[in-house]
């Protein structure tokens, strides 16, 4: 990366704060901005310096904040505008930058815009959303389906038309063909950046623009086998050529870029496209989004050639324009998904050495696995409404354990909003912070290495082909990153090696001119001139 292309986010390490489960500062059982402000010292100690905060706007919480009722202020349950101002001030004092989660594809059905739109066909806000007449048979206007199961349409008896929603009925989709919608978002983006926010993580960034004629979707060429009664799988049985990734969506971000650039704001897209050719246009010319998450690693098999292929594909999209993750609030935690916290750390090690911006999901640094949530305590609409408990996102959203004692330091309330599950003292920040061999200390060392070594940000990436089966390896300047995903130990030749700068297993060492890697372990080796 050249000096001309380096931006303030280059070299930073991100951290997703799932606000409702991070830290409860007012004792009501729900995480909030006061709790975050009180725990910023921990995040600074960990070394992360780019915080993504999940939605904190007023919301009826049909989808836990991703149904926004007011984009201009902070919900009182999270502490209001004053609490966010405190987080921004204290984060900036620690050289941390803060991203808000912006949800532009849809609003809450309780947003004043939609209330007005629903009030009458002639209301000025009617065309701010996607309204259509019934099909000839009296049913929905087309065959589109919701991510959460069922049709992507809900009928409004009062006005005799259907509104479109790619998610819940309480999340009506905005009409991005209306220039007034675009102007409204450009105004609120400017306002938040002027108030000290450093940028935005943009929810479902690829889905804003729809085909103007809203035609039926064709069936998927190779639909996945659906489990009986699994409503969510219906979405995957169509080719989403008219409702997502449409021509015109990049123009939205070009306009946002014109707002963000003078204010030095970051636009980071949740572009859930796992094909390089479809994702690349969002970032490759650097006239739209600054960064886009690369989600393919979330589905990769634990096999060396598959992992290398996915990582190489993401790294090749555009120089430094990919945000890397191994977990998020929408998928099973990496420790569960991959088969253990040691594997999660191996994948994180590989990602931390690649061009772009690596992110941790809260609790990943503690080696946390999923928590099974009983259906009687479920909160995720995927579980509660669709009945798809096997796909519930609650398992990765349970509260963060901070210290031994009642509520494990997350809350003083009698019970948190989601159960803590079987977490114990060994899972807590306090205990792991005092243990030199803990997962927390290993992740902290990995983050510190990323930030201390300019080559991991700026040096050319060179993949190493001549390696043993099961090994993934590459070089960045004076550093070599290697991981052994095989079932037995493997050796990596490292001529000119000086020292092991980081080892995921805490004990990997050089043996002469070779690095001996146990199974499911990764290391970063510092090389001589």
Domain-embedded: residue 155:
yes
> Is the Cβ–Cβ distance between 19 and 36 less than 8 Å?
yes
Q: At 367, is the secondary structure helix, strand, or coil?
A: coil
Burial class (CB within 10 angstroms; exposed 0-12, middle 13-18, buried 19+) of 63: buried
Based on the fold, state whether residues 388 and 278 are members of the same structural domain: yes
Which tokens in the block code for residue 332? Answer: 């099973």
Based on the fold, state whether residues 192 and 289 are members of the same structural domain: yes
Active site residue 170: no
Which tokens in the block code for residue 505? Answer: 């297993």
Query: Stretch 195-201: mean pLDDT, rounded?
Result: 98
Based on the fold, state whether residues 393 and 413 are members of the same structural domain: yes
Run of H or E including 514: strand 514-517
Burial class (CB within 10 angstroms; exposed 0-12, middle 13-18, buried 19+) of 174: buried
Query: Stretch 428-455: mean pLDDT, rounded?
Result: 97
CATH number reported for the structural domain that contains residue 478 in this entry: 2.60.40.1180
Domain-embedded: residue 70:
yes
Domain-embedded: residue 226:
no
Per-residue pLDDT of 490-507, as tens digits, reads: 999 998 889 999 999 988
Domain-embedded: residue 365:
yes
> Is the Cβ–Cβ distance between 253 and 263 less than 8 Å?
no
Based on the fold, state whether residues 406 and 486 are members of the same structural domain: no
Residue keyed to tokens 């978002």: 185
Reported confidence tier of residue 4, pLDDT bands at 50, 70, 90: very low
Based on the fold, state whether residues 433 and 510 are members of the same structural domain: no
Per-residue pLDDT of 257-282, as tens digits, reads: 999 999 999 999 999 999 999 999 99
CATH number reported for the structural domain that contains residue 129 in this entry: 3.90.400.10
Alpha carbon distance 491, 505 (integer Å): 15
Instruction: Give the other-Cβ count within 10 Å of 342's Cβ.
Output: 19
Q: Check 198, 243, 270, 458 and give the catalytic one.
A: 270
Alpha carbon distance 111, 30 (integer Å): 23
Q: Which of 401, 424, 446 is the last residue of a domain?
A: 446
Based on the fold, state whether residues 304 and 409 are members of the same structural domain: yes
Per-residue pLDDT of 134-192, as tens digits, reads: 999 999 999 999 998 889 999 999 999 999 999 999 999 999 999 999 999 999 999 99
Based on the fold, state whether residues 41 and 149 are members of the same structural domain: no
Predicted local confidence at residue 224, as pLDDT:
63
- pLDDT at residue 230 is higher than 60: yes
Residues 6+ apart with CB under 8 A from 484: 468, 470, 471, 490, 492, 517, 518, 519, 520, 521, 522
Which tokens in the block code for residue 177? Answer: 């063909």
> Is the Cβ–Cβ distance between 86 and 32 less than 8 Å?
no
Based on the fold, state whether residues 440 and 409 are members of the same structural domain: yes
Active site residue 203: yes
Alpha carbon distance 62, 349 (integer Å): 36
Query: What total number of domains does the chain contain?
Result: 3
DSSP code for 215: P
DSSP code for 135: P
DSSP code for 155: E
Per-residue pLDDT of 214-228, as tens digits, reads: 999 999 987 666 565
Residues 6+ apart with CB under 8 A from 268: 52, 99, 199, 200, 201, 202, 289, 290, 291, 292, 293, 323
Per-residue pLDDT of 111-138, as tens digits, reads: 999 999 999 999 999 999 999 999 999 9
Residue of higher predicted confidence among 156 and 511: 156
- Segments forming the whole domain that contains residue 370: 14-106+179-210+245-446
Query: What percent of the residues of the chain are helix, what percent strand, and what percent coil, each to the nearest 5?
Result: 30, 15, 50
What pTM value is reported for the model? 0.96
Predicted local confidence at residue 386, as pLDDT:
74
> Is the Cβ–Cβ distance between 363 and 333 less than 8 Å?
yes
> Is the Cβ–Cβ distance between 346 and 522 less than 8 Å?
yes
Domain-embedded: residue 468:
yes
Alpha carbon distance 479, 497 (integer Å): 9
Predicted local confidence at residue 457, as pLDDT:
95
Cα-based torsion angle of the residue sequence 53, 56, 60, 66 in order, rounded to the nearest 10 degrees: -30
Q: Check 24, 173, 203, 365 and give the catalytic one.
A: 203
Which tokens in the block code for residue 287? Answer: 């006239």
CATH number reported for the structural domain that contains residue 439 in this entry: 3.20.20.80
Alpha carbon distance 37, 28 (integer Å): 16
Residue keyed to tokens 């292929």: 309
Alpha carbon distance 196, 217 (integer Å): 42
Domain-embedded: residue 171:
no
Cβ-defined contacts of 139-142 (< 8 Å, 24+): 141/214, 142/214, 142/215, 142/216, 142/217
DSSP code for 236: G
- pLDDT at residue 473 is higher than 50: yes
Based on the fold, state whether residues 72 and 53 are members of the same structural domain: yes
Instruction: Give the other-Cβ count within 10 Å of 391's Cβ.
Output: 18
Which tokens in the block code for residue 308? Answer: 């290398």
Domain-embedded: residue 238:
no
Q: Which of 446, 476, 500 is the last residue of a domain?
A: 446
Per-residue pLDDT of 310-348, as tens digits, reads: 999 999 999 999 999 999 999 999 999 999 999 999 999
Based on the fold, state whether residues 336 and 250 are members of the same structural domain: yes
Q: Pick from 445, 417, 438: which is nearest to 35 by CA?
A: 417
Report the DSSP beta bridge partners of residue 461.
Answer: 476
Based on the fold, state whether residues 413 and 332 are members of the same structural domain: yes
Based on the fold, state whether residues 141 and 70 are members of the same structural domain: no
Reported confidence tier of residue 5, pLDDT bands at 50, 70, 90: low
**DSSP per-residue codes, 460-473:** PEEE--S--TTEEE
Reported confidence tier of residue 390, pLDDT bands at 50, 70, 90: confident
Q: Which of 413, 446, 479 is the last residue of a domain?
A: 446
Averaged confidence pLDDT in the chain: 95
Domain-embedded: residue 224:
no
Predicted local confidence at residue 207, as pLDDT:
97
């Amino acid at each position: 990366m050249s000096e001309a292309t380096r931006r303030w986010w280059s070299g930073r390490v991100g951290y997703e704060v799932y606000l409702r489960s991070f830290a409860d500062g007012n004792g009501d059982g729900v995480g909030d901005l006061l709790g975050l402000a009180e725990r910023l010292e921990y995040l600074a100690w960990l070394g992360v310096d780019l915080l993504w905060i999940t939605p904190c706007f007023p919301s009826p919480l049909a989808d836990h904040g991703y149904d926004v009722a007011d984009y201009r202020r902070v919900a009182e349950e999270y502490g209001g505008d004053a609490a966010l101002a405190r987080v921004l001030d204290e984060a900036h004092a620690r050289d941390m930058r803060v991203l808000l989660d912006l949800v532009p594809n849809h609003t809450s059905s309780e947003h004043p815009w939609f209330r007005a739109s629903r009030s009458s066909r002639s209301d000025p806000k009617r065309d701010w959303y996607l309204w259509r007449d019934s099909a000839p048979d009296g049913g929905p206007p087309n065959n589109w389906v919701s991510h959460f199961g069922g049709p992507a349409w809900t009928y409004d008896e009062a006005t005799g038309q259907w509104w479109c929603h790619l998610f819940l009925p309480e999340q009506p989709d905005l009409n991005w063909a209306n220039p007034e919608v675009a102007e409204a978002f450009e105004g609120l983006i400017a306002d938040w950046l002027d108030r000290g926010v450093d940028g935005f993580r943009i929810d479902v960034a690829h889905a804003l623009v729809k085909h103007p004629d809203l035609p039926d979707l064709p069936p998927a060429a190779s639909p996945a086998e659906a489990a009986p009664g699994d409503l969510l799988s219906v979405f995957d049985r169509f080719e989403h050529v008219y409702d997502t990734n449409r021509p015109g969506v990049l123009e939205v971000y070009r306009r946002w870029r014109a707002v963000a650039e003078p204010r030095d704001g970051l636009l980071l897209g949740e572009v859930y496209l796992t094909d390089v050719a479809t994702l690349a246009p969002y970032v490759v010319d650097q006239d739209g989004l600054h960064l886009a998450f690369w989600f393919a690693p979330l589905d990769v098999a634990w096999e060396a050639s598959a992992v290398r292929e996915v990582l190489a594909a993401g790294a090749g999209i555009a120089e430094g324009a990919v945000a890397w993750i191994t977990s998020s609030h929408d998928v099973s935690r990496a420790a569960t998904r991959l088969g253990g916290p040691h594997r999660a750390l191996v994948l994180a090690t590989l990602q931390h050495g690649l061009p772009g911006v690596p992110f941790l999901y809260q609790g990943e640094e503690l080696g946390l696995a999923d928590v099974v949530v009983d259906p009687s305590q479920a909160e995720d609409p995927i579980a509660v409404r669709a009945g798809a408990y096997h796909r519930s996102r609650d398992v990765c959203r349970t509260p963060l354990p901070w210290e031994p004692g009642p509520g494990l330091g997350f809350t003083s309330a009698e019970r948190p909003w989601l159960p803590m599950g079987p977490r114990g003292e060994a899972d807590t920040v306090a205990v792991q912070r005092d243990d030199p061999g803990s997962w927390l200390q290993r992740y902290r060392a990995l983050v510190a290495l990323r930030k201390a070594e300019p080559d991991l940000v700026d040096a050319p990436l060179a993949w190493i082909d001549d390696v043993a089966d099961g090994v993934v390896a590459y070089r960045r300047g004076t550093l070599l990153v290697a991981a052994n995903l095989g079932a037995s130990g493997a050796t990596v030749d490292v001529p000119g090696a000086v020292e092991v700068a980081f080892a995921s297993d805490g004990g990997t060492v050089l043996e002469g001119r070779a690095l001996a890697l146990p199974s499911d372990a990764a290391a970063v080796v510092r090389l001589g001139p």
